[in-house]
Chain A
Amino acid sequence: MACFIVPAAEAVITTIVAKSMKSGEKSNKNSNIKFDGNNLEAAEKIPFSKKLGWLNKLLWGGSVLLAFEHVWHGEVVPYFPFLTAANDPADMAEMLHEMSTVGVTMAVLVTGIWLGMVAVSHMIEKRASKTTTAKN
């Protein structure tokens, strides 16, 4: 009914956090990485704000397309109060229940997958710098 609102709210928060982190971030130290497996090239680790940007993009992208699905099903309308469920107290309770179950699961699943991506990228970064230092 309005489950996309939960990940959209998370997207607003993470966007603000990413913006504030970006302004206060220092550049990472340079290292040499073999991108093609042969030649050493100067490289710099991407900052955490950029990784947080991945989460923003997942959340915003998913929320926009899901909002469209809700328009398709007539649950979101372009006039006040924008949510058809808001007109009836029984529908409103159902909507809040759906937000607290499906909506929260959506946000948790996206965040969990992003955490997995961050962990994998951390491993790749570690392995790349380890291989380079071992061969130097």
Chain B
Amino acid sequence: MTLLISIFSAVICTAIWYKNAPKSRMMVGVLCWLYWGASIMWLADAIFEYAELGAEYFNPAPSDILNDLYLGLSVVALGLIIWLVILLVKDPKGVIKEALFKKKNL
């Protein structure tokens, strides 16, 4: 479930990035790297789990599904927070600078 959620997030973010690239300054690319990186790593984890459990891997207990869903959503939320922090710190549109400094007409 966590793997599925991260893959869906990665695909959606990549589609949004491609739609708005190259002019967008929202840095959606950061989210793409985060979610793709996690998806690939969880895929490796899933391969090992499948090798160990076999077909049982695809029939998790309802409580496991719920926990993984909760974890997946939390991971997506963490990714969004990391992206937001990077966006605000790098401030590609200069919005924060404009809020902090008053422009002076010379």
Q: Which residues of A contact B6 (CB under 8 A)?
A: 65
Of B30, B43, B48, B79, the residue contacting A65 (CB under 8 A) is: B79
Does B74 count as interface, using CB distance less than 8 angstroms?
Answer: yes
Contact call A105/B47, Cβ cutoff below 8 A? yes
Q: Is the CB of B38 closer than 8 A to any CB of chain A?
A: yes
Number of A residues whose C-beta is below 8 Å from B?
24
- Asked if B40 contacts A65 (CB within 8 A), the reply is no
Q: Answer yes or no: A95 CB below 8 A from chain B CBs.
A: no
Chain A interface main SS type: helix
Query: In the complex, what residue of chain B is closest to A72 when comparing beta carbons?
Result: B71
Most chain B C-beta atoms within 10 Å of own C-beta, residue among A7, A65, A101: A65
Question: A109 vs B78: C-alpha distance in the bound complex, in angstroms?
Answer: 23
Given contacts A57-B33, A61-B33, A68-B74, contact A113 B40 (CB under 8 A): yes
Give 1 or 0 for each of B31-65: 1 = CB within 8 Å of chain A CB. Answer: 00111111111111101100000000000000000
CB pair B45–A62 under 8 Å, yes or no, is: no
Given A64-B34, A65-B6: A106 in contact with B75 (beta carbons within 8 A): no
| Complex partner residue of B78 from A58, A65, A101, A110, CB under 8 angstroms | A65
Cα-based distance from A61 to B40 in the complex (angstroms): 11
Q: Which residues of chain B have a CB within 8 Å of any CB of chain A?
A: 2, 6, 30, 33-45, 47-48, 71, 74-75, 78-79, 82
B27 CB, min distance to chain A CBs, angstroms: 12
Given A69-B71, A72-B71, CB of A62 within 8 Å of CB of B47:
no
Instruction: Kindly state whether residue A83 has any CB partner on chain B within 8 Å.
Output: no
Interface 0/1 of A56-87, CB less than 8 Å to B: 01111111111011001000000000000000
User: Does the CB pair B48–A62 fall under 8 Å?
Assistant: no
Q: Can you sample 20 A-B contacts with CB below 8 Å?
A: A57-B30, A58-B40, A61-B79, A62-B36, A62-B39, A62-B40, A62-B41, A64-B34, A64-B78, A64-B82, A65-B37, A65-B38, A65-B75, A65-B78, A66-B42, A68-B75, A102-B44, A102-B45, A106-B40, A109-B41
